[in-house]
Structure formats: structure tokens, C-alpha cells
Amino acid sequence: MIKVYHRCGGCGKKQEFINSGKFRINANGNRVDVWLIYRCKKCKHSWNLTIYERKKPSKINKEEYKLFMENDYELASKYGNDIDFLKRNNAEIKS
């Protein structure tokens, strides 16, 4: 299991963050942002890891988009175990 660490805005220091299994989707005009939400293990402060930023919805796989909308646990787990995705979001990773 991958442990993810990041500086917590609530605690004010580096803490372990847990994959919430939930996505946040925000539409702005004809663009969409999608994040995977992590929570501080200690204080539950949220940290959104970017999956898509300012992407046209037509450029996102329709099935994947549907799974984002449904907060699909398997998809959240897939992203949460993707080392490259975690590194792109400046996560400190420990096995």
C-alpha cells in the first residue's frame, strides 16, 4: 500500500493523506477540472490532486467521466496507486 504525505494546510506540517475515494468536478464555461480528493489522516483537511485541468469534456473518455461523476472507488484506487500521477501532484510517497 502506498502512503502519501503532503504539507497539511490544517495541521501546518507534513502529514499522511488518505485517498477519500471521491472526485471533485468543476465546470467553467466549456472546460472541466477533475480532482481526486485526499484527506489528512489527522485533521481531515482536504487536498485535491489534479487529474484534468481546463479540459474540454469531449476530450475526456465518456466512460471515465461517468465514473468520476459516480465517485467510482476502483477508479479512485487506480489513480491513488499511480506513482506518476502522485508525483505530478507533488506528493511524497512511501511504500
Whether the model pTM is above 0.85: yes
Compute the mean pLDDT over every residue in the chain, rounded to the nearest whole number: 96
Exposed, middle or buried, 1 (CB in 10 Å: 0-12/13-18/19+)?
A: exposed
pLDDT computed for residue 28 by the predictor: 87
pLDDT computed for residue 16 by the predictor: 97
pLDDT computed for residue 51 by the predictor: 98
Domain boundaries, the chain: 3-89
pLDDT computed for residue 33 by the predictor: 97
Nearest residue to 34 (alpha-carbon basis) of 59, 7, 8, 16: 59
Confidence of residue 29 (pLDDT cuts 50, 70, 90): confident
pLDDT computed for residue 45 by the predictor: 97
